[in-house]
Structure 1
Amino acid sequence: MRHFLLALLAVTASTAQAFDQQALMDSYSGVVMIRGYNQDGGMAYGSGVVVAENAVVTNCHVMRATKQPWVSRGEDSYSITEVRADAWHDLCLVTTHNMPFKPVPRGNSLSLTRGQEITAIGHSNGAPAPLTSRGEIQGLYPTTAGNMIRSSAKFLMGASGSGLFDMQGRLVGINTFKTAGRGGSIHFALPVEWLETLEKMPASSDFPISGKALWEEDEDKKPFYMRAAVPESRQDWAALEKISVQWTQQEVSSADAWFSLGLSQQSLKQFEAAAISFDKAVALDNQFIEAWFRRGEVAQQLGDIQTVHRVETRLQQIDPLLVTAYQAYLGCGHGC
């Protein structure tokens, strides 16, 4: 059901937000493959983004099993001569020679907003040409520099290290890790701001790259938004509720924490408790569209028609286009 709601919101966003097609095409040309042979002779591959002359950013985990990685585009290849590696943050900046591709423009993850449309561009499944996937920002989580990004823009194996772009073609994140489950995958991108520190690190010619990444940390040491993603994607609502209760206790001012708790409670048919949690989520972020939709749905499940109408009025104030999607979501035609 959540994916149906996200699809409705994505359609609404695509009609409401402008995009620069030429800028996105230019950024598409700045996405490349990172390849190399494993010790057993198999091929390791991932994606990368050209961020400076002869410089490509990718995920370090892409190069864990190869001693001689290279950059490729179609039948052309470019040897990697050195790397600046931050294994913990899973970002590597590799250097080549005579690579003709232009750097993509950089954006800012701090300027992103929940619900904003974005595009992932990468070599999912090792496709020879980059594939694109449009989606929207689902969550933004502050770090020491920039926001970790949760988005609905899908990427598959082979797209680690690929680019997440705003609709003006600016790089805002590096697609890095995801969860999987019957409820669908949840995708995360590292903030583009981390590149600034990476560029100042010393270069090395040592491969393969080793070291654990932050998203591979023990579960109890991960931030709550990472811990909650696994049971959510697996639709393990009892586990999600347990984590979300802790999350709301530790981060009482987090709209995401209260939404996560409300989602688990609604899925467990604890509708009155879910209503309280969603109310707290929208009180903390009154532009949290998915939380408003969920609040209206819970009101419908409780037979609270007054709140169903109140939510519709609020959505009308945010964006009139949302009302039709809300009515379709609740299954009440042109009038709830």
Structure 2
Amino acid sequence: MSAAALLGACAAAQAVDAEVDRETHIRLASSVLKIEVLNRGGGYSLGSGVLIDRDEVVTSCHVTRNAQRIHVLQGGLRLAATGQSAQMRRDLCVLRVPGVLGQVVATAPTQSLKAGDAVIAVGYTGGLAPYASAGKVIAKHRHSEGQVIRSSTSFNSGASGGGLFDTQGRLLGILTFRMRGAEGQYFSVPSDWIAPALHAPSAFGPVGPLEGLAFWEATDAAQPPFLQAATLKAQQQWQSLAGLSRRWAHEDPKDGDAFHHLADALEHLGDLEGAEGALTRSALLEPDEPRGWLQLGQLRARMGRLADAGQALLRLRALAAAAAPHATEWADDLARLLDKR
């Protein structure tokens, strides 16, 4: 995916906050702050940040990369950042901001997060006021010893560096970028990456311009395979997607995402047996992920393998009994499909 097709969310589109109840909005907004950056060469850019500890605010490095000075705006105050710990490649920066006030957030690991989990994005979309958007996790993508979260929680210009929260108000990720012209393609880097920025020796340096690019800004071949796959899928280049997915699976045979994309490509190419094999591998690598079992059951039903589709349904029922999000709904969908057969 070219960097032009991916957009950071650090610059206007005001949306109506109609999805998140007022109490939740107020509670989460107390932890999300507006970031103002005076860039080298003049000019300002705006973004968002999340209060993660006393005097420490996390944001996206692409918001601050050209900074001469950084301020956190809070009420009528402009509080200066005195230091910055940057992981530019991961697009995660922690600012030291003495005197900043607000509700420090708790973080939650992304490991137990599943497709279908409810999430809330909060950031300064349009740079005016904190905007909250409710949505669901669509997928997680392994990258750099973590899992980048893709969700349906919309965010736009000014929201970069804002927070992706679970329904308990715990920070799951930092709003980072979106895919141009695509629904459900909003990406957040994981909160698991914050600790290295805080605890590395001599982590904090002076505020100043940063060198390098974030992983999602790289040229096509240098991007993570999940982003390359997203581009090929959007362009319906199924042969190329199959080739990429096979190389990806060979290099990382424990990544179920690779087999999931391979199955998608093979199904569109008419190789249903190959697609079924790839989806089976993906489901076995991620046995607690309901989405994979749903898609496997649907494909097997399409192939007329109703008994095998029933096995996928049983797995969904078991996940539903374990209170897996959306497993009950998806099991009912698959059961209705099988009844029609």
Q: Is the structural similarity TM-score above 0.5?
A: yes
Amino acid at match of 1:317: A
User: Aligned in 2, Cα 1:266/1:323: closer, same or farther, shift over 3 Å?
Assistant: farther
Secondary structure of the residue aligned to 1:226 is helix
Amino acid at match of 2:289: F
Amino acid at match of 2:93: C
Shift of 1:56: 0.9
Superposed CA offset, 1:130-173 (max 9, x none): 323321261252644x4433334333232211112222211122
8 Å contact from structure 1 (residues 186, 233) kept in 2: no
- Alignment-derived partner of residue 199 in structure 1: 198
In 1, distance between residues paired with 2:65 and 2:300? 50
Shift of 1:278: 1.0
User: Aligned in 2, Cα 1:263/1:104: closer, same or farther, shift over 3 Å?
Assistant: same
8 Å contact from structure 1 (residues 312, 323) kept in 2: no
1:136-151 aligned within 5 A: 136=137, 138-141=139-142, 143-144=144-145, 146-151=146-151
Shift of 1:50: 0.7
Secondary structure of the residue aligned to 1:100 is coil
In 2, distance between residues paired with 1:74 and 1:333? 57
Secondary structure of the residue aligned to 1:69 is strand
- Alignment-derived partner of residue 316 in structure 1: 317
- Alignment-derived partner of residue 109 in structure 1: 110
- Alignment-derived partner of residue 224 in structure 2: 223
1:140-219 aligned within 5 A: 140-141=141-142, 143-144=144-145, 146-182=146-182, 184-200=183-199, 201-219=202-220
Amino acid at match of 1:295: L
In 1, distance between residues paired with 2:34 and 2:339? 48
Superposition CA RMSD, Å:
3.2
User: Aligned in 2, Cα 1:186/1:98: closer, same or farther, shift over 3 Å?
Assistant: same
Shift of 1:99: 2.1
Amino acid at match of 1:197: P
Secondary structure of the residue aligned to 1:258 is helix
8 Å contact from structure 1 (residues 49, 56) kept in 2: yes
- Alignment-derived partner of residue 286 in structure 2: 285
8 Å contact from structure 2 (residues 39, 66) kept in 1: yes
- Alignment-derived partner of residue 241 in structure 1: 242
In 2, distance between residues paired with 1:90 and 1:181? 22
1:25-104 aligned within 5 A: 25-38=26-39, 42-73=43-74, 75-104=76-105
User: Aligned in 2, Cα 1:243/1:216: closer, same or farther, shift over 3 Å?
Assistant: same
- Alignment-derived partner of residue 7 in structure 1: none
Unaligned runs of 5+ in 2: 1-21
Unaligned runs of 5+ in 1: 1-20
Amino acid at match of 1:167: T
8 Å contact from structure 1 (residues 275, 299) kept in 2: yes
Secondary structure of the residue aligned to 2:68 is coil
Question: Is 1:303 matched up with 2:325?
Answer: no
User: Aligned in 2, Cα 1:85/1:285: closer, same or farther, shift over 3 Å?
Assistant: closer
The aligned length equals 315
8 Å contact from structure 2 (residues 120, 132) kept in 1: no
Secondary structure of the residue aligned to 2:69 is coil
